[in-house]
Structure 1
């Protein structure tokens, strides 16, 4: 039995609310994934791998034009070139200068062009819009020792839609302390699905990076694969330092999410993100626009 539903989104740049829905990708909006045969089948890594193989062929490029037209994607913002496949289009890059990160060291820029939730202090008894277990630091990071610096600290969740720019960037300058890989499934990552299957972020395939940053202390950045996203490619060498705004990784095809955990009292998510989170509404933010401020 399937129960897909549209999602309410606050568009910060446009200053208006809208409902997000893709009628050609209803499984992305499934609210009861464990009861959907389609989700049970499509959540497996093998399915994502098969989809990825097709999307990487030249035959798949015929879907590009109709997708751009249907979802009103402004291609003038992206590099002008001939895409060799649908996956090649999916990982398209912005033209230089189209997006920028804050120059103030106190402001954290959006690490992805995505829909954001945020909490100033995320505790185990958190219930709405997602149950606390869904974003439990210890289970999300796979280790009690690894999670300890982030207990009761600020937390941000960024959900990327299939229509989005699917590159992830570093929110600040610094270096990588640890890298780990966890998970074995690819469920949809919408918060309505998480209300009915609270372990989605725990069982989904994910890349965990512990970062030491110049202005926001230690961060845990968790890139979570989702429905049909079977590949998270790290672009920046983890052994090398990074600068604010540098590209970090790329998601291949489908929806996905990034979770960012911080140390208690180090930084605070932006007011609009906090306010709309309490209403169960995600805030659509452009890459590099402010999402948090140093305390």
Structure 2
């Protein structure tokens, strides 16, 4: 996962390992690696702090952070749509940092795989993947922290996913922050599991291995056309102002439809599947075994139907 405090990620498109530049890494190290920071843990992971910080990203003043952020993280902003101020250059077109944060891709920048037996990447993110969830699963967290029952928070619903495949898509603050449906289908059930708002950064996970089951999360049980039932779990994180469902879940969805978005803060989408229905792509499985995430574009292939 990381060497010291470096986060290594395999870039599928450049076919090489890269060191991730972490936004706010000093704060993460303080909060989880420093004794004083750990004492302040309950405050740092509190909803109140995250909501207040998230709200501050809605102010007009916060828009001033966009141009330096683009430069610092070398974001290809020409791939995205402008914000509210259409007459301005794109760098100054967003009325707040949050508007920039939930920017949309321009038409045609990302397309979903059209093959029925290929699952499209549901987020532009860094992926871990496992062929089956088991009690000895230890990447990226130790022990039984990724058992379906604990992730989903409902014993009865979780039964369908025990021993099934699992993918974890981690979004960084620099990423496109909308998440999508990996296949066509319908929503069977959707609910929120209350919890804290710890950082989901791998640096935090080194110190705190129960984050995925302690954090607040939104769970949707999906019935898909080609991959069976899926538990689609959006995990909240420190300073994530809000998890927003932009799709009307009472109706059917199509592969690639936008499901929702995270307001300010990097976060994570976890996908659990039924045993034997599908498996993550080979490069994801291989890199995961080495403790390394794979960077994948929205809509690209992340799994195959069995």
TM bin, normalised by shorter chain, reads over 0.9
TM-score, length of structure 2 as denominator length: 0.91
Distance 1:291 1:29, change over 3 A: farther
Matches within 5 A, 1:112-261: 112-261=123-272
Counterparts of 1:31 and 1:273, CA distance in 2: 30
Counterparts of 2:243 and 2:33, CA distance in 1: 22
**Partner of residue 69, structure 1:** 71
- Answer with 36-45 or 228-237: which moved more: 36-45
Indicate if the aligned counterparts of 1:56 and 1:87 stay in contact, CA closer than 8 A. yes
Deviation at 1:122, TM superposition (A): 1.4
Counterparts of 1:61 and 1:96, CA distance in 2: 24
- Answer with 80-89 or 152-161: which moved more: 80-89
Aligned residues, how many? 292
Q: 1:49 aligns with which of 28, 48, 51?
A: 51
Gaps spanning 5+ residues in structure 2: where? Answer: 84-92
TM-score, length of structure 1 as denominator length: 0.94
Query: Secondary structure at the residue paired with 2:144?
Result: helix
Indicate if the aligned counterparts of 1:21 and 1:29 stay in contact, CA closer than 8 A. no
Indicate if the aligned counterparts of 2:11 and 2:294 stay in contact, CA closer than 8 A. yes
Gaps spanning 5+ residues in structure 1: where? Answer: none
Indicate if the aligned counterparts of 1:7 and 1:20 stay in contact, CA closer than 8 A. yes
Distance 1:177 1:231, change over 3 A: same
Counterparts of 1:9 and 1:70, CA distance in 2: 19
**Partner of residue 26, structure 2:** 26
Counterparts of 2:194 and 2:34, CA distance in 1: 17
Distance 1:10 1:31, change over 3 A: farther
Q: Which 4+ stretches in 1 moved above 6 angstroms?
A: none
